[in-house]
Chains A and B, each alone.
Chain A
Amino acid sequence: MDMRIEEHPILGTLKKGKAVKIEVDGKPVDAFEGEPVAAALMAAGKTVFRYTRKRKEARGVFCAIGQCTDCMMTIDGVPNVRTCVTAVKEGMKVKTQIGTGEDGDTSK
């Protein structure tokens, strides 16, 4: 599922940075360098970014400006990274985070 807006009546044809691949939960995902990780995930149809610590409730992007922490994931082994304000870099390893993700273990 590609949710990218290629053509737009006001903004014209999509122009983005360099096309790169990132790894999301072990699977390759197309992304553009420099765009927020959250945008790349959303473009790929991913909407659940983490599960809360106690009740394991699903969370996704809520504010998109780095304020609510709903979009936190584990990136390259570092937990609690706000994906909506973190830029994509080639080869990044992004993981859906369970709880605080402190031990880096995100398996259920």
Chain B
Amino acid sequence: MKEAELVIVGAGPAGLSAAIEAAKAGVKVMICDENQRAGGQLFKQIHKFFGSRAHQAGTRGIDIGQNLLNEVEKIGVDVKLDAVVWGIFSDRRVGIVHEGKNTLVKAKKILLATGAAENVLAFPGWTLAGVMGAGAIQTMVNVHRVLPGKNVLMIGSGNVGLIVSYQLMQAGAKVAAIVEAMPRIGGYAVHASKVRRAGVPILTSTTIKEAKGKEKVEKAVIIKLDDKFKQVAGSEKEFDVDVICLAVGLSPLAELAWMAGCKFTDVPELGGLLAIHNEDMETTVPGIYVAGDIAGIEEASTAIEEGRLAGIAIAESLGYINAAAAKEQKQQIYKRSDQLRDGPFGIGRRKAKEVLISRSLKQ
């Protein structure tokens, strides 16, 4: 059986950042991603990111992704693309199908950085062609440069719904409206203002009632919700659209952590059931770490910090960095992460992370 010091599953911002830190310290890293290109979600994000200079604020997601890839290449990490990790077995054996061939690798440490999966919403007509996930639309529009339709109804006003609406307009589509079941807009006001002044209505306390069409979406019917989230009969409105985009949240993609026997806990603020991890990002199974959206739905900026943290902690536990040096680097990461997890949108996530970590102490 092949052996590796560190196998990282997922080459998004979290996985790549961990690979960079660990490899810099001397760890021999293998990073696997199922796609043909590394970078995870970043190559769909063509907008400028928030944060401070230390978090590459003002830089577009695609360029942050390219910077990470350049660094990975410079350090010479073993990046395996078209490599699906399908199982984690006892003694940290990792089952990989790489370019169609099945291999088993025994790792000293494993980092799961698999990101998140999109939530779906079922409603009459939701299986019609033209009802698509926000991630699918971003992939088609920003990566493959094809519009899935010309008139779009967006479901969900979180940052994803707002940003994808803006990106659809940049690509030349019209966004008929953004509907939101809650009585207030979910995402940042600056993102909302951008689409509003481009003429897109954001309809709060509203949901999709039905998608109509023979085989593909031809119309969308929306309806008002009262303060108990009950549909208000007679308040329907119809839009002529050919695409309905679902942007109704993300959930951690944690099957591999289940398989590995990690203990889970429910933390709604971070997207639901999460593998419990400690301050080093290590789960309840020794030697198995998590970082990024799998460890709580947040942002690329926080995913990068968590990846770095895991990379350093792993290098330390393998003896490549001494405790004092590791401690100093970790302190800086904690500080930068706290900066991001602050303010009305972030403080809840910081508290939730603290709860998650405190639960690891009880194990």
B92 to chain A, nearest CB (A): 26
Given the known interface contacts A5-B172, A39-B140, the answer about A11 and B127 at a Cβ–Cβ threshold of 8 Å is no
User: Contact mask B107-131 → A, CB, 8 Å, 1/0?
Assistant: 0000000000110000000011111
- Distance in angstroms between the alpha carbons of A85 and B201 in the assembled complex: 34
Given the known interface contacts A11-B142, A63-B118, A64-B135, the answer about A58 and B148 at a Cβ–Cβ threshold of 8 Å is no
Q: Which residues of A contact B326 (CB under 8 A)?
A: none
Q: Are A62 and B132 in contact, CB atoms less than 8 angstroms apart?
A: yes
User: Contact mask A11-35 → B, CB, 8 Å, 1/0?
Assistant: 1001010000000000000000001
From 114 to 171 in chain B, residues with beta carbon under 8 angstroms from any chain A beta carbon are 117-118, 127-133, 135-137, 139-142, 144-149, 170-171
Interface size grouping (class) on chain A = 20 to 34
Q: Are B145 and A61 in contact, CB atoms less than 8 angstroms apart?
A: no
Q: Are B147 and A65 in contact, CB atoms less than 8 angstroms apart?
A: no
Q: Residues of B at under 8 Å CB distance from A? A: 34, 46, 60, 117-118, 127-133, 135-137, 139-142, 144-149, 170-172, 214-216, 242
B61 to chain A, nearest CB (A): 11
Q: Which residues of A contact B214 (CB under 8 A)?
A: 58
Given the known interface contacts A10-B60, A42-B146, the answer about A64 and B129 at a Cβ–Cβ threshold of 8 Å is no
Can you give 26 contacting A-B residue pairs, CB < 8 Å? A4-B145, A4-B146, A5-B141, A5-B146, A5-B147, A9-B170, A10-B46, A10-B170, A14-B145, A36-B144, A39-B140, A39-B144, A39-B145, A39-B146, A47-B129, A47-B149, A48-B129, A48-B216, A57-B127, A60-B132, A61-B140, A61-B148, A64-B136, A65-B136, A66-B34, A67-B117
- Distance in angstroms between the alpha carbons of A38 and B214 in the assembled complex: 21
Q: Which residues of A contact B46 (CB under 8 A)?
A: 10-11
Interface of A is mostly: loop
Does A93 sit at the interface, judged by CB under 8 A? no
Does A78 sit at the interface, judged by CB under 8 A? no
Q: Are B129 and A49 in contact, CB atoms less than 8 angstroms apart?
A: yes
B62 to chain A, nearest CB (A): 8
Q: Are B132 and A61 in contact, CB atoms less than 8 angstroms apart?
A: yes
Q: Are A63 and B215 in contact, CB atoms less than 8 angstroms apart?
A: no
- Distance in angstroms between the alpha carbons of A62 and B46 in the assembled complex: 21
Q: Which residues of B contact A89 (CB under 8 A)?
A: none
- Distance in angstroms between the alpha carbons of A67 and B84 in the assembled complex: 12
A31 to chain B, nearest CB (A): 11
- Distance in angstroms between the alpha carbons of A3 and B144 in the assembled complex: 11
Does A8 sit at the interface, judged by CB under 8 A? yes
Which residue of A is nearest B35, CB measured? A65
A90 to chain B, nearest CB (A): 18
Q: Are A47 and B140 in contact, CB atoms less than 8 angstroms apart?
A: no
Scoring B117, B132, B135, B170 by chain A CB atoms within 10 A of each residue's CB, the highest score goes to B132
- Distance in angstroms between the alpha carbons of A17 and B130 in the assembled complex: 26
Q: Which residues of B contact A11 (CB under 8 A)?
A: 46, 142, 145
Does A43 sit at the interface, judged by CB under 8 A? yes
Which residue of A is nearest B117, CB measured? A67
Q: Are A63 and B216 in contact, CB atoms less than 8 angstroms apart?
A: no
Q: Are A5 and B216 in contact, CB atoms less than 8 angstroms apart?
A: no
Q: Are B135 and A63 in contact, CB atoms less than 8 angstroms apart?
A: yes
- Distance in angstroms between the alpha carbons of A11 and B142 in the assembled complex: 8
Given the known interface contacts A10-B60, A48-B215, the answer about A62 and B145 at a Cβ–Cβ threshold of 8 Å is no
Q: Are B170 and A8 in contact, CB atoms less than 8 angstroms apart?
A: yes
Given the known interface contacts A8-B170, A10-B46, A11-B46, the answer about A63 and B144 at a Cβ–Cβ threshold of 8 Å is no
- Distance in angstroms between the alpha carbons of A5 and B140 in the assembled complex: 10
Q: Are B140 and A42 in contact, CB atoms less than 8 angstroms apart?
A: yes
